[in-house]
Amino acid sequence: MLVVDLNCANLSYDVHSLLQAFYAGRQVSVLTPETGQKKREASAEPSIYVTVLDTATQIVMKGSALRESASKEECLPETAGQELAFVWKYTACERSQSDWKNDFKAFLYRTFSQVIGVQLPWGNLIGIRPTKIAMAMLGEGKGDEEILDFLKDAHFLSKEKAQLCLDISKREKQILSGIHYKEGYSLYIGIPFCPTTCLYCSFTSYPIRTYEKQVDTYLDCMMKEMAFTSQAMQGKILDSVYIGGGTPTTLSAEQLDRLISGLKSYFDLSTALEFTVEAGRADSITREKLEVLCRHGVTRISVNPQTMKEETLHLIGRRHTVEQVREAFALAREVGFTNINMDLILGLPNETADDVKETIRQVESLGPDSLTVHSLAVKRASKLGAWIEQNDISMLKNTDETMEIARRGALDMGMKPYYLYRQKNMAGNFENVGYAKEGCFGIYNILIMEEVQDIIALGAGSITKKVSRQVSEDGSESVLIERCENVKEVAQYMDRIDEMIERKRRLL
């Protein structure tokens, strides 16, 4: 474990996130005065000290913090076992708090980049929405070169990531040109059931066999939540609908029909630019279910293998075969779906570049309309962290090579990158990118990332976001995002459905 002693609690997230990116193979713990003596005594001796004062910030590194650089000839090998100190001096009142924080993160990044000898592809950006910066600058009328220079100079992005960020931002702006930002909203419906729980999954998901007798009661509660929401959003335009989970197609054909019939009875879907259902797992897809979705006007579905390597599917807990994926995809085409997405995860256990090449080859042979490429993120709520520890694996890592294989495969299929987001603890400090053919872009995917429109979420574990715009006296506009959450556990959601509705009432 790498232990950091930080005297300023409100910077702990920034320090932890950035150092975890640099020291990807090690656990990072940040101690602050608010941490408490018990936790401090239980931790190893700090090897990094970050001290923030009124006029200067100092970073001192020693011992294990320098171990990463000791094996690199070009990176200060003589400092191993010694101590390094870096100081950044400033006038406390000369910058705004946000500007000062950005400068602090730049100082932190420059320091560790120098010592470790590594430049992170995303520089000092630690948030999950890096395109927000480029989107804001485009809205201000900034030109391409100015945006690229800012991303590279102020945030240390690589040339490739800066260009990707700009390209996607421009495409998002074009795709969202028909969205009703202020007078519209999107709807998310969460079905928290799956055939089994995958090793890497951190979403609200429960094995369907355990809850199959409760599904109809769960749908009853969702109908109640729909009834309230349709009244609360009366007069607003519904731009997109997304049924996710979990795996919505773990419901029976009859239950899917009931769910969507109820949805259409409460909401006017005629204005929706997109109606997506995550079919997801091949072992949950049948002709009857696909026909229900098609008959109800679902315009976009996903058939998500994550990998086309049989051994990996078994290892990560997906109880279906590669052949079942191929059969499910062919069935969806046969039923009539013309916009099918496939999800892949790079950095899965024991997967090599050759495995990724083979997965891309098989995906190309199917010909999906969009492809979402995820870089594996090790989430606390997933079983993957425990699996890594039990199997004595230091950390799963993705590579530039596999990301390039997937990117090239998507381009060869006629797709363009259209949305992007990042997560904590991603393998290789990379990103998740959505690629799609023209006209097949996932509108909801962009909206949930860019947070420019109300997203009303129904079901266990879902989070509603209300977006408000406020104009100050000088004419500048600020955005306020408020949230309310539904409880995650299915039984709690059903028992407390009136409370969930009341939470929405207070927010909306």
* Tens digits of residue pLDDT in 377-412: 765 555 655 655 566 554 456 788 999 999 999 999
- Amino acid in the structure at residue 309: K
The answer to whether position 40 is within a domain reads yes
The answer to whether position 376 is within a domain reads yes
pLDDT, tens digit (0-9, with 9 covering 90-100), for 221-258: 999 999 999 999 999 999 999 999 889 999 999 999 99
Please state whether the peptide bond connecting residue 280 to the residue before it is cis, i.e. omega within 30 degrees of 0: no
The answer to whether position 359 is within a domain reads yes
H-helix segments, 251-379: 253-266, 287-295, 310-315, 322-335, 353-366
Please tell me whether residues 218 and 73 are part of one structural domain.
no
The answer to whether position 279 is within a domain reads yes
Please tell me whether residues 79 and 197 are part of one structural domain.
no
Q: Can you give the pLDDT at residue 74?
A: 43
Q: State which residues form the domain around 428.
A: 179-458
**Angle, CA of 405, 411 and 417, to the nearest 5°:** 100
Give 3-state DSSP helix, strand, coil % of the chain, rounded to 5: 45, 20, 35
Q: Whole-angstrom Cα distance, residue 399 to residue 77?
A: 25
The answer to whether position 447 is within a domain reads yes
**Structural domains in the chain (count):** 2
User: DSSP string covering 401-469, please?
Assistant: HHHHHHHHHHHHTT-EEEEEE--TTBTTS--EEEEE-TT---HHHHHHHHT-SEEEEESTT-EEEEEEE
pLDDT, tens digit (0-9, with 9 covering 90-100), for 66-78: 766 544 444 444 4
Please tell me whether residues 297 and 413 are part of one structural domain.
yes
Q: Whole-angstrom Cα distance, residue 508 to residue 503?
A: 9
pLDDT tier for residue 349 given thresholds of 50, 70 and 90? confident
The answer to whether position 161 is within a domain reads no
Model pTM? 0.89
